[in-house]
Amino acid sequence: MSIDTAEHSENRSKANGQQILQVGPVNPAVAAALADEFGALRLPEGAEREDFLEQHADGVRIAVCSGRVGVDTELMRQLPNLEVIVNFGVGYDATDVAQANERGIAISNTPDVLTDCVADTALALYLDVLRGTSAADRFVRRGEWARIPSFPLTVRASGRKVGILGLGRIGKAIAARLEGFGCEIHYHNRRPVEGSPYTYQSSPAELASAVEVLVIAAAGGPESAGLVNADVLEKLGPDGYLVNIARGSVVDEPELIAALQEGRLAGAGLDVFANEPHVPAELMALDNVVLLPHVGSGTRETRADMAALTLHNLRSYLRDSTLVTPIS
């Protein structure tokens, strides 16, 4: 028997699959392990859900979810013996963290393994929205190049003043990449980051006033909701650009749409939206907006690493009630 198989059968003996609940769709490798290795329960959608919970809720100790679905207020209340939430994704804002804290329910997430890919996505959006690469691609595909010899000029991406909202792991990785483009980096964070070489600004509005491009890398959740509001967008101004790879909730989306439509903001590169997968038609209509379907961490390598870390947390909890990467 290989070590791996030995560990798996140990898990199986300790874990009663009826105590593990998969909430919502999860990464295929995680879903396969939950079903085949652990025999976990899966929360059904729709009409069957209440009957299922009546039958199984009391036995559930462990919930495994994606960051997009999380364990919300209502579901957490319906699971009286929940001990731990194993979250696939670095963000866990879809989970009711306040209730989890009150009840002593632990949460794990998947930090670090996705930092590079999310930062790369931020740079892809940065370059695209400033240099108009997606718009230029559309221009070529529409056959317009033959008619109009030159695509409209764009703006220089190198050497800009860029503000990072949220200088955590991902914010720092974005800043490091932007340094390679000769950018001057400013940031706002809940508190100044000790030893940071970048210029601290005391509020999102101060940050927006100081820079030409604002990149949002702050965690989602109640504390950051609506941080990028009408005032911040106004400070960024008609020559300013917004990039968001964090959470749609950090931005006041209707205000962002109004600013873009009225030419009070030069453009936006967005991987995240207020109500995913809904993307407002007003944004789709704008050529100076780059829209991605929340793919920040979406590479084969990173998703495999996130799946492995999710399962590592689950196995660790089953073994000795510890988590490898608990949220701090």
- Which CB atom, from 67 or from 204, has the smaller least distance to ligand 8YV? 67
Residue nearest to ligand 8YV (CB): 89
Exactly one of 56, 131, 294, 312 is catalytic; name it: 294
Q: Is 292 helix (H, G, I), strand (E, B) or coil?
A: coil
Known catalytic membership, residue 262: no
- For ligand 8YV, which is the closer residue by CB, 208 or 219? 219
Distance in Å, CB of 75 to ligand 8YV, minimum: 16
State the catalytic residue, choosing from 61, 186, 188, 247: 247
Q: Which is nearer to ligand 8YV, 102 or 112 (CB)?
A: 112
| SS3 of the chain: helix, strand, coil, percent, to 5 | 40, 15, 45
**Smallest gap from residue 191 Cβ to ligand 8YV (A):** 22
- State the DSSP code for 212: S
Instruction: Give the H/E segment covering residue 233.
Output: helix 230-236
Q: H or E segment at 261? A: helix 253-261
**How does DSSP assign 145-185, residue by residue?**
TTTSSSPPP----TT-EEEEE--SHHHHHHHHHHHTTTPEE
**Least separation in angstroms between CB 130 and ligand 8YV:** 23
Mark whether 294 is an active-site residue: yes
Is the Cβ of residue 235 or residue 247 nearer to ligand 8YV in the bound state?
247
Query: Which positions touch ligand 8YV (CB under 6 A)?
Result: 66-68, 88-91, 114, 294, 296-297
Long-range own/partner contacts, residues 96-102 (CB < 8 A, 24 or more apart): 96/70, 96/71, 96/72, 97/221, 97/327, 99/73, 100/71, 100/76
Least distance CB 230 / ligand 8YV (angstroms): 25
Write down the H helix ranges in 15-160: 28-36, 48-56, 73-77, 97-103, 115-131, 133-141
Residue (116 or 179) nearer to ligand 8YV, CB = 116
| Catalytic-labelled residue, pool 48, 102, 276, 301 | 276
Whether 276 sits among the annotated catalytic residues: the reply is yes
Measured between alpha carbons, how far is 324 from 302 in angstroms, rounded to an integer?
18
Provide the minimum distance between the beta carbon of 325 and ligand 8YV in the complex, in angstroms, as a whole number. Answer: 12
Cα–Cα distance, 75 to 52 (Å, whole number): 12
Catalytic residues: 247, 276, 294
